[in-house]
Structure 1
Amino acid sequence: MRSEIPVSLLKAHPKNQEYYSNLSDEKYQEIKRSIEAHGIRDPLKVLPDYTVVAGHQRLRIARELGLEKVPVVILDVSLEEAEYLLIADNEERRQFDDNPIRKAKRAEFLKRYWGVREGRLAKPGTPEGHFVPQVKTLADVAEAIGETEKSTKRLLKLNDLIPSLQDLVSRSKLSQAAAYSLAFLPPEEQENLLNALGESGVCGLSVAEAKELRARIESALKERDDLAGKLAESQERERELDRKLSALQDQLESAREDIAERLSHEYQEKTEQALSNLKRQLKEARDETAELWAKLKQAKAKVTEKIVSDPKQETEIKNLKAKIEELEKQLAENNKPGADIVAEIERLESEKRVLEWEVNRTRQAVVFGNFVRKLFTPLMKAEDEYDNLVRQTELRGLHFEEARRWIAMLKRYQEKLGDAMRTVESGAGKVIDISKTR
Structure 2
Amino acid sequence: MQHILDAIMAGDTSSEDYAALEVPDHYTAAFVKKDEQGMFEGLASRDKDPRKSLHVEDVPLPELGPGEALVAVMASAINYNTVWTSIFEPVSTFGFLERYGRMSPLAKRHDLPYHVVGSDLAGVVLKTGLGVHSWKPGDEVVAHCLSVELESPDGHNDTMLDPEQRIWGFETNFGGLAQVALVKSNQLMPKPAHLTWEEAASPGLVNSTAYRQLVSTNGGNMKQGDNVLIWGASGGLGGFATQYALNGGATPICVVSNEEKAAIARKMGAELVINRSEEDYRFWKDERTQDPKEWKRFGAKIRELTGGEDIDIVFEHPGRETFGASVFVTRKGGTITTCASTTGYMHEYDNRYLWMNLKRIISSHFANYRESWEANRLIAKGKIHPTLSKSYALADVGQAALDVHKNAHQGKVGVLCLAPEEGLGVRDEELRSQHLDQINAFRGV
Q: Is TM (by shorter chain) over 0.5?
A: no
What range describes the TM-score normalised by the shorter chain of this pair?
A: under 0.3
In the superposition, the TM-score normalised over structure 2's length comes to 0.19
Q: Rg larger in 1 or in 2?
A: 1
> Quick check: which one's strand share is greater?
2
